[in-house]
């Protein structure tokens, strides 16, 4: 949550300094790439925490079953 908040503030500040233009010949997909690039580190942390959580959960379940048995 703290990480998310940090990135949020960072991005909001960067956005406020920017003026946007709409143009029929331009691909809106480029903005999606920029957003992903800015959040790359954040998403990597999300993935790391996800994997760690799964490992921890599986270890805990294994631990409980072993001690019950």
Partner 1 sequence: MSLVKQNEGSFRDPANRVFSFNRDIYRAIFAAGVQDYTSAKSKGVYARLSEAGILVPHQEISIPPAAPEETVYCLRHVSLPMVSYPWEWSYTMLKEAALLHLDAMEILVPQGFWLRDGSALNVQYDGKGLRLIDTLSIGLRKKNHPWIAYRQFCSHFLAPLALAAYKDIRTLALWREYIDGYPLDLAIRMISFRKRYLSRLFIHLTLHARFQQKGQGNDQKGDYKAPIFSDASLLGLIRSLRRTVSSLRWKPHSSVWRQYQPGQNYGDNVLNLKKQNVDRIVGRLKPATVWDLGGNTGEFSSIAASHGSFVVSIDADPACTDHLYQRLKGDLQGKSILPLTMNLANPSPALGWNEKERYGLRDRGPADLVMALALVHHLVFSHNIPLPSIAEWLSSIGNHVVIEYISKNDPMVSLLLKARGNEHLPYSQDLFESSFAHHFSLLEKMELNSSRSLYLYAKKQIAYETNSSTDH
Contact between 44 and 2 under an 8 Å Cβ cutoff? The reply is no
CB of 24 to partner 1, least distance (A): 10
| Cα dist from 6 to 12, 46, 66, whole Å | 10, 14, 41
Q: Which residues bind partner 1 (CB under 8 A)?
A: 4, 8, 11, 15, 18-23, 26-48, 50
The residue (of 53 and 63) whose beta carbon lies closer to partner 1 is 53
The residue (of 4 and 63) whose beta carbon lies closer to partner 1 is 4
What phi and psi, each to the nearest 5 degrees, are found at residue 17?
Answer: -90, 10
The residue (of 8 and 64) whose beta carbon lies closer to partner 1 is 8
């Amino acid at each position: 949550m703290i990480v998310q908040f940090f990135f949020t503030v960072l991005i909001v500040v960067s956005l406020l300094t920017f003026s946007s233009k709409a143009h029929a010949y331009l691909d809106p997909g480029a903005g999606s790439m920029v957003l992903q690039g800015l959040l790359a580190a954040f998403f990597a942390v999300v993935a790391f925490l996800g994997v760690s959580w799964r490992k921890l959960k599986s270890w805990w379940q294994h631990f409980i079953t072993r001690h019950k048995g």
